[in-house]
Amino acid sequence: MWYRRSRVRIPSIAPFYSSVPTEWLYSQRMTDARDTGLTLNPKYDETGLITAVVTDADGGDVLMVAHMNAQALGLTVETGFAHFWSRSRNALWKKGETSGHMLAVRDIRIDCDQDAVWVKAVPAGPTCHTGARSCFFRRVGTDGLTRVDAAD
């Protein structure tokens, strides 16, 4: 075996690892090529999906949170219009295909562990199926929910 011919002693890394905090090891383990590299390598969950957050390119409000599979992500990048995977309908979903309230994409970002994308978009109308501009039209407080405008 090659290392028997070497005169260089290779010390065990075990004593080193045992001297650092668990959180540090965890952080180091997580910082891999997927976390910091420039290769798109989405970490799809066991159902083939990543999370997609859409914000209003004008103002930054969160408009909706949905999911994308590889096809939806590819179509979003290629067409410039947000596509998702509908878990309830089990189907590809071009946002606004029936309502006309499409989301014109201005920017797409992916997070460190590549299991979520952030889409900045210009909405053609209300994003929420309830008719609200944003799906996040209720504030959570210690006394429950209160209705607010997304711009509040």
Contact residues toward a copy of itself (CB under 8 A) are 21, 23, 26-27, 30-31, 35-40, 51, 53, 55, 59-62, 64-65, 73, 77-78, 88-89, 98-99, 107-113, 115-118, 128-130, 132, 135-142, 144-148, 150
Q: What are phi and psi of 117, to 5 degrees?
A: -120, 150
Which residues face 50 on adjacent strands? 68
CB of 123 to a copy of itself, least distance (A): 15
Q: Taking the CB of residue 133, how many other CB atoms lie within 10 A of it?
A: 17
Question: CA 31, CA 33: separation in Å to the nearest integer?
Answer: 7
CB of 2 to a copy of itself, least distance (A): 35
Question: CA 88, CA 111: separation in Å to the nearest integer?
Answer: 25
CB closer to a copy of itself, 4 vs 45: 45
CB closer to a copy of itself, 8 vs 23: 23
CB closer to a copy of itself, 3 vs 44: 44
108 near 119, Cβ under 8 Å? yes
CB of 76 to a copy of itself, least distance (A): 9
CB of 69 to a copy of itself, least distance (A): 15
- Among left, alpha and beta (phi > 0; psi -120 to 50; other), residue 131 is left
Residue 42 has what DSSP assignment? -
Which residues face 55 on adjacent strands? 62, 120
CB closer to a copy of itself, 18 vs 39: 39
CB closer to a copy of itself, 5 vs 89: 89
CB of 54 to a copy of itself, least distance (A): 10
